[in-house]
Amino acid sequence: MGGIAFVHRPALCQSQISRRPRASAPQLKRDPLGRSEPQLRILQNHYVLAVHNVRESAKFYTEKLGFELTADHVGWIFVARDNCMIMLGECPDDMHPSQLGCHNYFAYLRVDDINAYHRELQERGVESIAPIADEPWGMREFSIRTPDGHRIKIGQQI
């Protein structure tokens, strides 16, 4: 006859409980400011960007900004340079970024030589929309606009 079998296990007595090893509380690492660090870490960030013409956008990132094409799928092209990946998704009917006002900034790229990257972009015909300048928050920065109308701020710590 089918059914549920119950297995009787004797309860642990107090002396058995006290002899069990206790689990130690996990030790949190501390950063230089004394804050606890999380156990899981964000390893890298990628930007997902809606564009009207994915091929033209990818051409700008590869030819003008020095990115490399890393993936080409129907409706998607991924480009990367060093530790930065931008996932371009074709959305021809979406709102144009120029309609977003100041909200069309999508990235802040930190570089190790802002002056050299600024020169490189100028030589490739990329126009700065904000001149290179030292900011009070300790960064040297400039801004550019993509042909799609998205803006990128580029900076280096000074």
pLDDT of residue 16 exceeding 60: no
Q: In what order do the strands lie in the sheet with 128-134?
A: 105-110, 151-157, 139-145, 128-134
For residue 31, CA distances in Å to 35, 132, 152 come to: 6, 33, 30
More confident residue, 103 or 81: 81
- Domains of the chain with CATH codes: 46-92+103-157 (3.10.180.10)
pLDDT of residue 71: 96
| Predicted local distance difference test score (pLDDT) of residue 106 | 84
66, two tokens: 């020095």
Give the chain's mean pLDDT.
Answer: 82
CA 157 to chain centre: 18
Q: Is the pTM of this model over 0.85?
A: no
- pLDDT tens digits for range 127-155: 899 899 999 999 999 999 998 889 999 99
Terminal CA-CA length for the chain: 80
99 pLDDT more than 90: no
Chain centroid, CA 129 distance in Å: 23
Name the residue among 121, 158, 125 with its Cα closest to residue 140.
Answer: 158
Determine the pLDDT at residue 41: 76
Reported as a single tens digit per residue, the pLDDT across 26-72 is 566 666 677 676 667 777 888 999 999 999 999 999 999 999 999 99
What HEC string does 121-152 produce? HHHCCCCEEEEEEECCCCEEEEEEECCCCCEE
Q: What is the pLDDT of residue 156?
A: 96
Beta bridge partners of 142: 154
- Between residues 76 and 44, the one the model is more confident about: 76
